[in-house]
Amino acid sequence: MIAAIIAAAGSGERFGASIPKALIQLGDRTLLEHSISALSSVADQIVVSAPAGYEDQIRALVGNDITVVTGGATRSESVRLALATIENADFVLVHDAARALASRELAARVVAALKAGDVAVIPALPEVDTVKVIDANGYVTSTPDRTTLRRVQTPQGFTFSVLKSAHATASDATDDAALVAAAGHKVRVIDGQERALKITTPHDLATALQFMGSAQSFSSGVGVDAHAFGQGRELWLAGLHWPDEVGVEGHSDGDVAAHAICDALFAATGLGDLGSNFGTSRPEYAGASGIKLLKETYLLISNAGFSISHVSVQIIGNRPRIGARRAEAIATISTALGGAEVAILATTTDGMGLTGEGKGIAAIASALVIKCA
């Protein structure tokens, strides 16, 4: 099992914000949501260390499948508190919410190096500037050889036992690799990404937006779908078959997650909605799978000159439990959408309404698309 910890307890003080840094918006999503999106494709469990007083707000944002703990006074303490909620993991990734644009591909390369035998893996970039060591009075004392220096990033990956042992010392460090190295373990360095910059100031945010592209070319949409359970129906959800669950009624296979994503993409592109494109007036779509509808939606919006920047869907219902198959569902939907970045969250409604009373299942999706030149 792969677990991931997102350190998100930092304040927005240096940013000049009145809210925690992890809740600052970058495009259509918060820094925290961007970070979750990158890690959810490789992690079976995600734990977020939240600023004190913001736990409920972050739980509402990320859904029930993600564990939220109150962070500590330091980064190391926040990671330790999150680490205490993880049991029996093989590997643990530790990521800073402020590095919101670190990609899924970077996380996957960290995991691949761990599976190849390394106990600690960190991404980093070469130092291109000359670096000086100065004394307390501001005078240069030495000039290190920059060819041996690296600018370290996250996500950093570790075997569970090594990371847990390193944090048992209760020491503090600016990153987890320093604690692991101090415990005598070798730390593998792999190539990082320029886009995985740490967003600390408004200038950093502007740089991050440049990596995302011109904000004027983006448009967004929201889609919602809900279906009641129906006896004798198989459950298809998020592109996957759930053999031990009761299915839902519907013209097609009733995949609420796929349908909500389709509607969000149609809303963002102005190309109608699920009903006008695949509704009951189109008999050829009777019983169609959610994946088929996603593929055809992708073809329609691509032909209209749009590309997908990101889609996110939150599944609402008491069952099934999404967490164990989240990475599989993300990969399935992403493939149907031409490799687009996908995030899947899940929550319940505490016994209220159609989903809370166990009568059905629902989903809400958002999509960010780019109009191609």
User: Domain with 34 in it: what CATH number?
Assistant: 3.90.550.10
Q: Are residues 206 and 221 in the same domain?
A: no
273: annotated binding-site residue? yes
At 214 the pLDDT is: 47
Decide if pLDDT at 109 tops 50: yes
At 286 the pLDDT is: 79
225: annotated binding-site residue? yes
Q: How far apart are CA 148 and CA 157, in angstroms?
A: 21
Decide if pLDDT at 77 tops 60: yes
CA angle (157, 35, 152) in 5-degree steps: 45
Residue 70, beta-bridge partner list: 50
At 213 the pLDDT is: 66
Structural domain containing residue 177: 2-210
Comparing CA positions, the residue from 34, 172, 177, 169 lying closest to residue 94 is 177
310: annotated binding-site residue? no
Decide if pLDDT at 40 tops 60: yes
Out of 210, 225, 249, pick the residue that ends a domain.
210
**Longest Cα pair distance anywhere in the chain, in angstroms?**
79
At 222 the pLDDT is: 95
Q: Are residues 317 and 233 in the same domain?
A: yes
348: annotated binding-site residue? yes
Q: Are residues 161 and 235 in the same domain?
A: no
At 17 the pLDDT is: 67
Q: Are residues 219 and 206 in the same domain?
A: no
In tens, the pLDDT along 91-100 reads 999 999 999 9
Q: Are residues 167 and 259 in the same domain?
A: no
172: annotated binding-site residue? no
**What CATH number is associated with residue 302?**
3.30.1330.50
In tens, the pLDDT along 142-183 reads 999 999 999 999 999 999 999 999 999 888 999 999 999 999
Q: Are residues 291 and 178 in the same domain?
A: no
In tens, the pLDDT along 296-350 reads 999 999 888 888 888 999 999 998 989 889 999 999 999 999 888 899 999 988 8
Quickly tell me which residue has 């016994």 as its tokens.
Answer: 351
Q: Are residues 193 and 274 in the same domain?
A: no
Q: Are residues 346 and 228 in the same domain?
A: yes
191: annotated binding-site residue? no
At 372 the pLDDT is: 63
In tens, the pLDDT along 228-275 reads 998 888 999 999 999 988 888 877 888 999 999 999 999 999 999 988
- Mean pLDDT rounded to a whole number for the chain: 91
Q: What percent of the chain has pLDDT over 90?
A: 66
117: annotated binding-site residue? no
Residue range 134-140: average pLDDT? 96
Q: Are residues 339 and 223 in the same domain?
A: yes
In tens, the pLDDT along 11-21 reads 766 676 678 88
Q: Are residues 80 and 187 in the same domain?
A: yes
Comparing CA positions, the residue from 97, 105, 289 lying closest to residue 297 is 289
Q: Are residues 186 and 309 in the same domain?
A: no
Out of 160, 181, 210, pick the residue that ends a domain.
210
pLDDT band for position 83 (cuts 50, 70, 90):
very high
Q: Are residues 27 and 106 in the same domain?
A: yes
The count of domains in the chain is 2
Q: What letter represents residue 49's amino acid? A: S
DSSP characters over 106-164: HHHHHHHHHHTT-SEEEEEEE--S---EE-TTS-EEE---GGG-EEE-S-EEEEHHHHH
Out of 176, 210, 244, pick the residue that ends a domain.
210
Decide if pLDDT at 215 tops 60: no
274: annotated binding-site residue? yes
